[in-house]
Homo-oligomer: A and B are copies of this chain.
Amino acid sequence: MLKLTRKVEYALIALRHMQAMKPGKLTSAKEIAEAYGLPQQLLAKTLQQMARDRIIEAVQGPSGGYRILSNLDKISLKDFFEKLEGPLGIMDCYFDSDCVQIGACNIRVPIQRINENMRNMFSKMSLREVTQ
């Protein structure tokens, strides 16, 4: 319950791997996939998404790969999760308000409170804390 997806898991593993190596050095998806036994194509997609989000930088061509681009101190875990997976919240009545029983519902307000606590918690943690 309240689990991370594989996508996020793979992203964190990859970031931590890159963080541990010499700054600026490139790492390929294949390299990471083999090192941790991850499905290469899926990992690649995740890396590509992070590249689109400007968290990492992609270099094409042979001997290409990825390297960390942003200052990971400046990215909160909340932003990171939301970039990869969309809005963060224990229930999504707040984002796509197509919840069938809106109006009848009696837990919106308390859930809102929990959501805020969660978002607040993940806002205070930086991606760096996880990858270093």
Contacts and interface: CB of A to CB of B under 8 A. Distances in A.
Contacts of A105: 13, 36
Interface of A: 1-5, 8-9, 12-13, 16-17, 20, 35-38, 77, 81, 85-92, 100-101, 104-107, 110-111, 113-114, 117-118, 121, 125, 129-131
A5 B16 contact: no
Contact of A107 (B16, B85, B106, B113): B16
A77 B89 CA distance: 16
Contact of A104 (B12, B35, B91, B106): B35
B90 A4 contact: yes
A22 to B, nearest CB: 17
